[in-house]
């Protein structure tokens, strides 16, 4: 496998954990990963502290913080990982780009750009 796309459109930290775990698995096998954050999923890229109450029991049981895993995916993935903040969603929600964490976001683009970039992907997953 050479490339996968991951769409994160859900604000659940559990969904983020699954998406990021898939991304880490992909880069371990030298697979390029494009993660597209749109709709409610865009909230994962906001600066500041995130609400983890939904997964508190999982964290207590030893699951890593999904936001730490996202940070590691971006920093460890290098050229294999692209994280995209959906500009259409930003416009719809009237959020300023400055609200998005630059350390987690490698690109700002809309759906057309995402579709072009995953055209040659082996798989596209949605969380």
Give the CA distances from residue 32 to residues 1, 23, 40, 74, 91, in Å, rounded to whole numbers and listed in that order.
9, 9, 24, 12, 28
* Average pLDDT for 73-101: 95
Give the domain ranges of the chain.
Answer: 3-126
For residue 4, the cross-strand partners are 33, 123
Does residue 65 surpass a pLDDT of 90? yes
Q: How far apart are CA 49 and CA 104, in angstroms?
A: 14
Supply the mean pLDDT for the chain: 96
* Average pLDDT for 6-23: 97
User: What is the CATH code of the structural domain delimited by 3-126?
Assistant: 3.40.1260.10
Does residue 113 surpass a pLDDT of 90? yes
* Average pLDDT for 73-81: 96
Confidence grade of residue 1 (pLDDT, cut at 50, 70, 90)? confident
């Amino acid at each position: 496998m050479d490339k996968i796309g991951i769409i994160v459109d859900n604000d659940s930290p559990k969904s983020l954990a699954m998406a990021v775990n898939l991304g880490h698995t992909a880069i371990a096998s030298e697979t390029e990963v494009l993660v597209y954050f749109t709709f409610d999923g865009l909230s994962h890229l906001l600066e500041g502290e995130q609400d983890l109450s939904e997964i508190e029991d999982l964290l207590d049981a030893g699951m890593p913080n999904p936001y730490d895993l996202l940070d590691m995916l971006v920093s460890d993935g290098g050229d294999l990982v692209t994280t995209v903040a959906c500009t259409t969603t930003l416009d719809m929600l009237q959020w300023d780009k400055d609200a998005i964490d630059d350390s987690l976001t490698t690109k700002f683009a809309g759906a057309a750009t995402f579709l072009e970039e995953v055209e040659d992907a082996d798989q596209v997953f949605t969380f």
